Structure 1
Amino acid sequence: MTSIDPLIASYYTEYDEASRLHTTAVGRLEFERTRELLRRSLPPPPARVLDVGGGPGTHARWLVEDGYEVLLVDPVPKHVEQAREYAPGCSAELGDARESALPADSWDAVLLLGPLYHLSERGERLAALREARRVAVPGGLVAVAGISRHSLLQEYTVSAGLTPELLAGEAPWTWPGRTRAVWTRTCRASGAPPNGSPTSSTTSSRGAAPRERPTPCARSRCAWTDWSSRSARS
């Protein structure tokens, strides 16, 4: 089996992936929507489904309950053990999305719902896709999930409630009852605030004196910087 990044192995050894899709609203939505889409496209049971990078068996469980024959492969030993316990009737073994000893043309459906966003190199992602196509029967289903490289920014924009006016630097951002913070856009070639504006500062709602902040790093093309204090959010 091809070795995986030690950081990934260490992360999943410590992190409880088994609860991720069941304990939060976002996780539950991801689970329900993924199951809905798969049920639309999967061949009818008792088709054979290969769940590559299937983790602790979250999807393997309902697939088995729906009548499918499921083999789950995952590079994390902890996940394989969890899948065997959580999804009775599912076969689970150590495996890698990029390379396997499984026979060609042998699975009616192949799921890649996790591996692609852990493979940072394009060549590795293509290898995983080629392997999925190799083991799938001709005309079989290959279902793939990915994450945009901009997803973290998109998620933060939504969760922080960033408006177009705020992103354009035309409005202050207020943390209710605590801190008023000014967002500034810093352009690449300049270490100073744009258009000669004064250095941003934070004013506490408790009347503390404004505190000057250091100039943000100018290595990127531009940066949106929240000058609010962490202590004010506690």
Structure 2
Amino acid sequence: MDNIAANIIGQYEIMDEDKRLEGGFGQLEKERAKELIARYLWKEGLTIVDAGGATGAYSLWLAALGHSVHLIDIVPKHVALAEQKAQATPKTHRFKASVGDARVLPEIADGSVDLVISHGPLYHLTDRNDRLATLSEARRILKPGGILLAFTITRYAGINYAIPNGLVFDETYYSVMREEVLTGLCNNNPRRISTFTNAFFHLPEEIRDEVREAGLEYEKTLGVIGTAWLVPELDHGWRDEAKRERILAVARLLENEPVLGPRMMTVARKEPMS
């Protein structure tokens, strides 16, 4: 285990990934991510690797739809919780989970996977070479014509949270936001400012270029939630059916402008056999 892996594991030992998805923001993100993923479920019984799949929010859903899903996460407690949840989830007999590093997946054979979903790795890995290793490994395990769905955090996620919450007037907080916007690096320095774990926040053209450099065919980048998360009292609005549908409508309306929101999904393919 290298220092990068140890750091990520340490960060999630004090974070609750399941709880993050419980509020209005998390529910919006989860619902929209499912919508976007569903567009690329082109046949029944796909073989799917969910790299950085955490506690199984998407893996278990996909397995219940009848797909063969292998969740891989670097955090042991995430994998244990995903396995525990699978036991209580109907129709997940084609689900399995294991501890692993998305940069190197020796247990997955070359050209054996229809669909790779990558959530955390591409923003938790702050070094470009590590992100390229993750993307190259996805390409290796994909079948010819297989699809990668790569989720990233956008460059302006932090500043767009800071503005409506008045945090830009805090000099220390603003210095962190400025660094994120100028470099993409979120390193929570100085210590009293904790906006997120160590991460890299992409511009759309950056993830496009990384995908291409890894040898994949870039298709598109879509926004997951747009600015819909800025709705006042989002938690309350999400519990109201009519408001929830309008919030989702806003997210859909803005999906072709991915930089507006905090999350993006990039679609790429492994070249088909000639």
Q: Where on the TM-score scale, by shorter chain, does this alignment land: which range?
A: 0.5 to 0.7
Q: Identity across aligned pairs (percent)?
A: 37
Q: Give the structure-1-normalised TM-score.
A: 0.66
Tell me the residue number matched to 2:155.
149
| TM superposition shift of 1:7 | 2.7
Tell me the residue number matched to 2:142.
136
Tell me the residue number matched to 1:230.
none
Please tell me whether residue 72 in structure 1 is matched to residue 78 in structure 2. no
**One-letter amino acid matched to 2:146:** G
Partner Cα separation in structure 1 for residue 110 and residue 23 of structure 2: 38
For the 8 Å contact 1:60–1:87, the answer to whether it is kept is: no
Question: Which runs of structure 1 show a deviation greater than 4 angstroms over 4 or more consecutive aligned residues?
Answer: none
Partner Cα separation in structure 2 for residue 74 and residue 4 of structure 1: 14
Deviations, residues 196-219 of structure 1 (Å, cap 9, x unaligned): xxxxxxxxxxxxxxxxxxxx98xx
Secondary structure, counterpart of 1:51 in structure 2: strand
Distance 1:161 1:152, change over 3 A: closer
Deviations, residues 138-172 of structure 1 (Å, cap 9, x unaligned): 1111000111233211222244498xxxxxxxxxx
| TM superposition shift of 1:33 | 0.2
| TM superposition shift of 1:50 | 0.4
State the number of aligned residues. Answer: 168
Tell me the residue number matched to 2:8.
8
Distance 1:159 1:127, change over 3 A: same
For the 8 Å contact 1:106–1:137, the answer to whether it is kept is: yes
Which residues of structure 2 form unaligned runs of 5+? 88-92, 180-274
Tell me the residue number matched to 1:38.
37
Partner Cα separation in structure 1 for residue 128 and residue 74 of structure 2: 19
For the 8 Å contact 2:114–2:146, the answer to whether it is kept is: yes
Partner Cα separation in structure 1 for residue 32 and residue 109 of structure 2: 31
For the 8 Å contact 1:2–1:96, the answer to whether it is kept is: no
For the 8 Å contact 2:74–2:100, the answer to whether it is kept is: yes
Partner Cα separation in structure 2 for residue 5 and residue 91 of structure 1: 21
**One-letter amino acid matched to 1:60:** S
Partner Cα separation in structure 2 for residue 2 and residue 38 of structure 1: 31
Tell me the residue number matched to 2:96.
91
Deviations, residues 109-141 of structure 1 (Å, cap 9, x unaligned): 000011101000111111101110110111111
| TM superposition shift of 1:36 | 0.3
Tell me the residue number matched to 2:132.
126
| TM superposition shift of 1:107 | 0.5
Q: Which protein shows a greater Rg?
A: 1
Q: Give the structure-2-normalised TM-score.
A: 0.56
| TM superposition shift of 1:69 | 0.5
For the 8 Å contact 1:42–1:141, the answer to whether it is kept is: no
Secondary structure, counterpart of 1:49 in structure 2: strand
Larger RCO, structure (CA 8 Å, separation 6 or more): 2
| TM superposition shift of 1:32 | 0.2
Tell me the residue number matched to 1:62.
61
| TM superposition shift of 1:18 | 1.7
Partner Cα separation in structure 1 for residue 41 and residue 150 of structure 2: 13
Partner Cα separation in structure 1 for residue 121 and residue 34 of structure 2: 18
Deviations, residues 169-195 of structure 1 (Å, cap 9, x unaligned): xxxxxxxxxxxxxx69x9xxxxxxxxx
Distance 1:138 1:87, change over 3 A: same
Partner Cα separation in structure 1 for residue 47 and residue 136 of structure 2: 19
Secondary structure, counterpart of 2:48 in structure 1: strand
Distance 1:2 1:161, change over 3 A: closer
Partner Cα separation in structure 2 for residue 127 and residue 159 of structure 1: 37
CA RMSD after TM alignment? 2.5
Partner Cα separation in structure 2 for residue 91 and residue 139 of structure 1: 24
